[in-house]
Chain A
Amino acid sequence: MNDRGQGIDVAGLQKDYRVHRRTSGLASTLRSVFRRTYETVTAVRDLSFHIEPGERVGFLGPNGAGKTTTLKTLSGLLHPTAGRVSVAGHEPRLREHRFLKRITLVMGQKQQLLWDLPPVDTFSQNRAIYDIARPAFDATLKELDDLLGIGAIAEKPTRQLSLGERMKCELAAALLHRPDVLFLDEPTIGLDVSMQLAVRDFIRAYNERTGATTLLTSHYMDDVAALCPRVIVIDKGRLRYDGSLSKLVEKIRPDKSIVLRYAHRPDRAALERLGTVTECEEAKAVVRVARPDLREAVAHLLLDPALSDLTIEDPPLEEVLRDLFAQSATEST
């Protein structure tokens, strides 16, 4: 049965950890030999969302928000303390082989490639473990090679590959079995800009070709902006936002930035009548203007003959999220 149509369902997910607590100092160390103090930390609480098959969704939140815990729960590594999780019609915590053959989890900071062997050996190993028929394996490998440009690097020992080369091979190894669901946890971490772009293009192309459901976490907001029409934002384990990226930006920062370039120093006082001036230098100014007032402001600015260039930008996603998390911190106090 093909359950691709069932997507990902999370209802009331809660995940608690029991953590050993000890203050510093010798006395505390000795006390902990005989009596240990534990406390329960809730990493994820009452989290619910649904992801349609084939969707690309960004999963955002500050460090410690519960993103990796959620991804590990969705991939079956962690068991929910409470709530219900279903991925492509399977209950992940049972880790049935049929389920494991349909998902992949790529963690940018952990690797599955065999360190001292060339990636081709990991590919062969995965072919055997996932029981992939030779023709299907060859076809998928060729397709991944076309998309990622792996070529001869797969024949060099993994330890001799650059970080970018290694990530290409990690992605290939993780996708050889053509999973229906991709969990990507910081897949571009540590990569240079050109390699980030290559990985980003690959993820989009793979999703479009195969229709695989993709849930991505990344601290690089450009990844999310480029790949994910929808974002789920969590903070302190709770859902803060679930919807389109553009609406999130509109909701949190109901203004746009107008970047202006002049032949001479701009008139700050005149600009302040239009909006909030965030930058005013020798020949450049940036004014933040409320969206409803944008048209009028631009029309007014264009009347200035000294203006040489004008661009309208959304605020950076980093700023939007910072404001969102600041709001949630205020609400929780």
Chain B
Amino acid sequence: MKAALSAYPTLLRIGFAAAVAYRTEMLVWMLTMTMPFVSLALWSAVSATAPVGRFDQKSFVAYFLATIVVRQLSGSWVVWEIIQEIKSGTLSSRLLKPIHPLIAYSADNLAATPLRVLFALPLALIGLASGGAVLPHEPRTIAAFLLSLFGAWVITFFVMVIVGSLSFFMESSMSVFDIWLALFMLLSGYLVPLELFPSWVRSLAEALPFRYTLGFPVEVLIGMSDDAAIVRGLAIQFAYGIGAAIVALALWRAGVRRFGAFGG
């Protein structure tokens, strides 16, 4: 682990160079994550005459721009990489290196963050200028947001590893990812703020992991959560993060054993 930690800065530097090399592809990729703009247009029209719950037009602008920002900064695409490498056999060259492949994958993912910040920053400024966002200014709220953002990335990354690792056991696990994505769209707050749902859906969303990959950090960012809700949210989020990491590592280990037994 010590060796992996000392290698990590170099992995991040190379990962960043790769992200820059793929900048056009990445930009197009990032543009596919702009679905909340559609929701924004829709909900702005709905709230033009009267607010919907706590949301007026400005709050919707702040909410959906924050959604895009959080999704940009906490997203992970490792599922595609894992599935493709298992199917093509290129995973072999990773397995021959004296570093855990998940550490290398995580560095690849995190290394793209600066480019994602470049994309997300103008949106954050627009959100701020719209006047609907109450951006956190207290250090503890900022710290809570950064923690929740990291927690969202941890859950997303390890869930993607879990789904990708299923490809060790089935022809392709892309269909499982599609199911995850559909539930994510509905229950994370990506298309509709969760508090606009009926209470039973809201309760369900609070119990499931999807909200903690997006809606929760968004609520912290735009000041929709009080201190108690933040602490409770962080606790649930990190419980999910640790749980996902444990399952991902176990599944990965079993998958690599199977890869060794059956040749992928």
Contact between B263 and A69, CB atoms less than 8 A apart: yes
State in angstroms the CA–CA spacing of A105 and B259 once bound together: 17
Supposing A72-B92, A75-B96, A128-B10 touch, asked if A117 and B17 sit within 8 A by C-beta, the answer is yes
- List the B residue with the shortest CB-CB distance to A79: B260
- Is residue B22 contacting chain A, with contact meaning CB distance below 8 A? yes
Partner of A110, one of B14, B17, B89, B98: B89
Contact between A116 and B260, CB atoms less than 8 A apart: no
State in angstroms the CA–CA spacing of A133 and B188 once bound together: 46
Q: Is the interface of B mostly helix, strand, loop or mixed?
A: helix
State in angstroms the CA–CA spacing of A97 and B98 once bound together: 5
Supposing A114-B18, A121-B14, A131-B7 touch, asked if A78 and B89 sit within 8 A by C-beta, the answer is no
What are the residues of chain B within 8 A of A103 when measuring CB–CB?
96
What are the residues of chain B within 8 A of A127 when measuring CB–CB?
10
Partner of A128, one of B7, B18, B92, B260: B7
- Is residue B97 contacting chain A, with contact meaning CB distance below 8 A? yes
What are the residues of chain A within 8 A of B98 when measuring CB–CB?
97, 100-101, 129-131
Contact between B18 and A116, CB atoms less than 8 A apart: yes
State in angstroms the CA–CA spacing of A97 and B96 once bound together: 9
- List the A residue with the shortest CB-CB distance to B7: A128
- Is residue A93 contacting chain B, with contact meaning CB distance below 8 A? yes
23 pairs, CB–CB < 8 Å, chain A vs chain B: A17-B263, A69-B263, A76-B95, A76-B96, A97-B3, A97-B98, A104-B96, A107-B92, A110-B89, A110-B90, A116-B22, A117-B18, A124-B10, A124-B14, A125-B14, A126-B97, A127-B10, A128-B11, A129-B11, A129-B98, A130-B97, A131-B6, A157-B21
- Nearest-CB distance from B168 to chain A (Å)? 14
What are the residues of chain B within 8 A of A121 when measuring CB–CB?
14, 17
What are the residues of chain B within 8 A of A300 when measuring CB–CB?
none
Partner of A114, one of B14, B89, B92, B99: B14
Interface string of B128-150 (1 = CB under 8 A from A): 00000000000000000000000
State in angstroms the CA–CA spacing of A124 and B18 once bound together: 13
- Nearest-CB distance from B160 to chain A (Å)? 21
Name the interface size band of chain B.
20 to 34
- Nearest-CB distance from B13 to chain A (Å)? 8
- Is residue B262 contacting chain A, with contact meaning CB distance below 8 A? yes
- Nearest-CB distance from A85 to chain B (Å)? 12
State in angstroms the CA–CA spacing of A130 and B10 once bound together: 12
- Is residue A18 contacting chain B, with contact meaning CB distance below 8 A? yes
Contact between A77 and B11, CB atoms less than 8 A apart: no
- Is residue A291 contacting chain B, with contact meaning CB distance below 8 A? no
What are the residues of chain A within 8 A of B260 when measuring CB–CB?
76-79, 93
- Is residue A264 contacting chain B, with contact meaning CB distance below 8 A? no
Contact between B97 and A117, CB atoms less than 8 A apart: no
Apart from the given pairs A77-B92, A100-B97, A104-B96, 15 other A-B contacts in the complex at a CB distance below 8 Å: A77-B96, A77-B260, A79-B260, A93-B260, A95-B95, A100-B98, A105-B92, A105-B96, A107-B92, A111-B93, A114-B18, A127-B10, A128-B10, A129-B7, A129-B11
- Is residue A328 contacting chain B, with contact meaning CB distance below 8 A? no
Contact between B14 and A117, CB atoms less than 8 A apart: yes
For the complex of A and B, list the 6 residue pairs with the smallest distance between their C-beta atoms, beginning with the closest: A128-B10, A128-B7, A97-B98, A116-B21, A79-B260, A100-B98
Supposing A116-B18, A125-B11 touch, asked if A17 and B96 sit within 8 A by C-beta, the answer is no
- Nearest-CB distance from A250 to chain B (Å)? 37
- Nearest-CB distance from A178 to chain B (Å)? 14
- Nearest-CB distance from B111 to chain A (Å)? 12
State in angstroms the CA–CA spacing of A117 and B19 once bound together: 10
Partner of B21, one of A76, A77, A117: A117
Interface string of B253-264 (1 = CB under 8 A from A): 000010111110
State in angstroms the CA–CA spacing of A93 and B258 once bound together: 12
What are the residues of chain A within 8 A of B22 when measuring CB–CB?
116
Contact between B97 and A129, CB atoms less than 8 A apart: yes
Interface string of B59-96 (1 = CB under 8 A from A): 00000000000000000000000000000011011011
- Nearest-CB distance from B109 to chain A (Å)? 16
State in angstroms the CA–CA spacing of A97 and B1 once bound together: 11
- Is residue A246 contacting chain B, with contact meaning CB distance below 8 A? no
- Is residue A276 contacting chain B, with contact meaning CB distance below 8 A? no
Contact between B262 and A18, CB atoms less than 8 A apart: yes
Contact between B95 and A128, CB atoms less than 8 A apart: no
- List the B residue with the shortest CB-CB distance to A96: B98
- Nearest-CB distance from B194 to chain A (Å)? 38
- Is residue A112 contacting chain B, with contact meaning CB distance below 8 A? yes
What are the residues of chain B within 8 A of A104 when measuring CB–CB?
96
Contact between A77 and B95, CB atoms less than 8 A apart: yes
What are the residues of chain A within 8 A of B97 when measuring CB–CB?
100, 126, 129-130
- Nearest-CB distance from A81 to chain B (Å)? 8
State in angstroms the CA–CA spacing of A4 and B231 once bound together: 56
What are the residues of chain A within 8 A of B3 when measuring CB–CB?
97, 131
State in angstroms the CA–CA spacing of A75 and B96 once bound together: 8
What are the residues of chain A within 8 A of B262 when measuring CB–CB?
17-18
- Residues of chain A from 87 to 106 with CB closer than 8 A to chain B in the complex: 93, 95, 97, 100-101, 103-105
- Nearest-CB distance from A276 to chain B (Å)? 45
